[in-house]
Amino acid sequence: MTPGIGLAGPMLRKYWNRLLQACGSPVGSVARGLLFFGLLAMVAGCAVSSLGPGVGQEPVVASGRVAEAGDVDHFAGQLENASQDKDVAFQYLMGFMHLREHRYKEAEEAFTRVAEFDPRTVEVREIVAQLATQRGDLEKATLYARSALALDRTREGTRLLLASLLRTLQKLPEAAEQYEFLIQSKENSDQVRLLLAPLYGLMKNPVKARQILEPLFNKPGLAWRAHLAMGRVHIDQDDDAKALAAFQEARRLEPDQIEPVLALGSHLQKMNRQAEAEKIYRDYLSGNPGSRVVHTRLGRLMLTLDKRQEALEQFQAVTRIAPESIQARLTTALILLSQGAFQEALKELRMAQAIQPDNSGILYYLGQALEATQQRDEAAKIFEKIPKGEPFYMEAQIRLAYHESTSGKGAAAVERVHRLVGEFGDKSEVFLAASVLLLQEKDYAGVVEMATRGIVIDPAQTRLIFNRAMAYDKLKRWEEAEKDLLNYLEVNPEDAQALNYLGYSWADRNEKLDKSYEYLQKAVKLAPGDGFITDSLGWVLFRLNRLQEALSTMREAVRLEPKDPTINEHLGDVLLANGQVQEALLVWQKALELDADNHLLREKIQKHAQKVAE
């Protein structure tokens, strides 16, 4: 019995008579009586119930109730015995007041003082043990649970709590002793056996675990649970075959129970037997289509197999079953975003936002969906809603900086990224974002600084090396740029863009042409149909004086990127080298129309047009 307070009539007068005496106040003191009666009114009817699941989700102490007449006599007697110390009654009362207001830390402190004053209070020690468990102070919880059991060995809930605490503290033999005691006392022994067997599994004693479970294997309603527990014991012995057999038997006994399905499916996935796991989940759903848990598990499996459409179907099923499921809606939206279904993703995210308007994850992905649908100003407003300190704040600020940069607000963007560097100076992602943005703003010295600082924090963030290489190139520090590019490609040999950058740079500088050709051929294979890489390959062929190959390659590049002025100019140069001056002039003229500020090209056209005229 967990004590509570619920007093009226004669009981009220008797209780407060003892309390006021303990406080050294005459019963007839009207002011003091009213004061304490006011405090009583605040806690009247308060009962200490189970404060939530104990460690390991096991039941601990039975729910409390409002005290009855006999209880009041009991506690009044306690107060009378404690009258030598006024603080006991006050702390006891304050403990219940704090519980009523959910001030668990203060309640724990008050009840701890009561326990210190009175070494015989079992119930108070149980309350302290539960509150300390809830707070995460497992050592203190264990101490008070032990002391309660020392006073009364029959407290089943407290012994379960102690066993759970000892298990969490990895004091497995001691935890097993507590469970064994409960089995011997025959108090809920079947359920205790199901708790104890996995403990012996952790202790690498599967024989003992089986002995504990043996009485349950033939009990209707419990046999499947026993096989399930034995399967988990086998997992702890790394015996996949026996674990699989146990889970299969549990499912055979109760095919409509979800726990064996989840255990069996998970174990099959662990054994890389994904098709069998999928069948287990689908078979269960055929008879239990409303199971959001199994739909979710199957959806995640489909994602691991990169079957996005099938995964989408499962998460959409969850949103139909549980429209309020934020996780299902968010996962659905992310899959839709990955499929390019931006409007559908936007719809899901708006529905999720309606349920949780301040969820920073929802806001961040909603902003991304708005960007994808070209609603950039609204996206910026959404990103601004994510407050500092919340998840995705840093990422949202990076998106805002990009938005400012692409909206002609370069100074504001640079200011924002510098502020982010100050706030998140230990995050390489911030330096990566800063280096990209500063490249866009043509602040190449700033790119070198940010990339270098980021590399110090995280040398594995190799994109910083590539960005720094591009900045060095723009600053005409080619030796440093070339070194960075080679270092980057050593780690990322399949990066077509980096191969193209270095290969084209060598071709443009008319050096290392054989190596340039090798890199650019590889880049074309990695990214077929990329007009810029095709242009680079045509340019190195031109430098190698393989003019016919260069011409056909350049024509393909223009076909792929007909509106790029540089590619058009390159085609004109190759046409000129092949003696096709008239066509070269026409192509150059088109390039000039695409880039009217290219004065060097204008002079080139005039020079060769004059030669033709002569």
User: Domain-by-domain residue ranges, the chain?
Assistant: 1-187, 323-382, 392-492, 520-613
pLDDT, tens digit (0-9, with 9 covering 90-100), for 362-402: 999 999 999 999 999 999 999 999 999 999 999 999 999 99
pLDDT of residue 166: 97
Give the SS3 label for residue 506.
Answer: helix
pLDDT of residue 86: 56
pLDDT of residue 27: 31
pLDDT, tens digit (0-9, with 9 covering 90-100), for 229-244: 999 999 999 999 999 9
pLDDT, tens digit (0-9, with 9 covering 90-100), for 395-426: 999 999 999 999 999 999 999 999 999 999 99
Residues 6+ apart with CB under 8 A from 513: 506, 507, 540, 543, 544
- Do 555 and 519 touch, CB atoms closer than 8 A? no
Question: Does residue 21 surpass a pLDDT of 90?
Answer: no
Question: Does residue 60 surpass a pLDDT of 60?
Answer: no
78-86 long-range CB contacts below 8 Å, 24 or more apart?
Answer: 78/118, 78/121, 79/15, 79/18, 79/19, 79/22, 80/18, 80/21, 80/22, 81/118, 82/22, 82/117, 82/118, 83/18, 83/21, 83/22, 85/117, 86/22, 86/23, 86/24
* Residue type present at position 210: R
Q: How far apart are CA 155 and CA 186, in angstroms?
A: 13
323-382 and 520-613 have identical folds: yes
Q: Model confidence at 94, in pLDDT bands (50, 70, 90)?
A: confident
Listed range (40-54, 434-448, 571-585) with the worst mean pLDDT: 40-54
Range among 9-18, 47-56, 68-77, 485-494 with highest mean pLDDT value = 485-494
pLDDT, tens digit (0-9, with 9 covering 90-100), for 173-186: 999 999 999 999 87
Question: Does residue 190 surpass a pLDDT of 60?
Answer: yes
Mean pLDDT of the chain: 87
Q: Give the CATH architecture of domain 1-187.
A: Alpha Horseshoe (1.25)
Q: Taking the mean position of all CA atoms in its chain, how far away is CA 333?
A: 16
pLDDT of residue 8: 33
- Do 94 and 84 touch, CB atoms closer than 8 A? no
Residues 6+ apart with CB under 8 A from 268: 244, 274, 276, 277, 280
pLDDT, tens digit (0-9, with 9 covering 90-100), for 99-120: 888 999 999 999 999 999 888 8
Helices (DSSP H) in 271-359: which residue ranges?
274-287, 292-304, 308-321, 326-338, 342-355
Residues 6+ apart with CB under 8 A from 426: 457
Q: How far apart are CA 303 and CA 349, in angstroms?
A: 19
- Determine what percent of the chain is predicted with pLDDT higher than 70: 86
pLDDT of residue 187: 65
Q: Which residue has the higher pLDDT, 127 or 90?
A: 127
Q: Give the CATH architecture of domain 392-492.
A: Alpha Horseshoe (1.25)
Question: Does residue 5 surpass a pLDDT of 80?
Answer: no
* Residue type present at position 614: E
CATH class for the domain made up of 323-382? mainly alpha
Q: How far apart are CA 336 and CA 98, in angstroms?
A: 48
* pTM over 0.85, yes/no: no
Residues 6+ apart with CB under 8 A from 600: none
Tell me how far CA of residue 448 lies from CA of 403, 467, 523, in angstroms.
Answer: 22, 8, 26
Query: 520-613 domain in CATH 1.10.760.10?
Result: no
CA angle, 36 as apex, 32 and 42 as ends, to 5°? 150
Question: Does residue 284 surpass a pLDDT of 60?
Answer: yes
CA angle, 370 as apex, 369 and 374 as ends, to 5°? 115
Question: Does residue 72 surpass a pLDDT of 80?
Answer: no
* Residue type present at position 416: R
Q: What is the CA radius of gyration of the chain?
A: 37
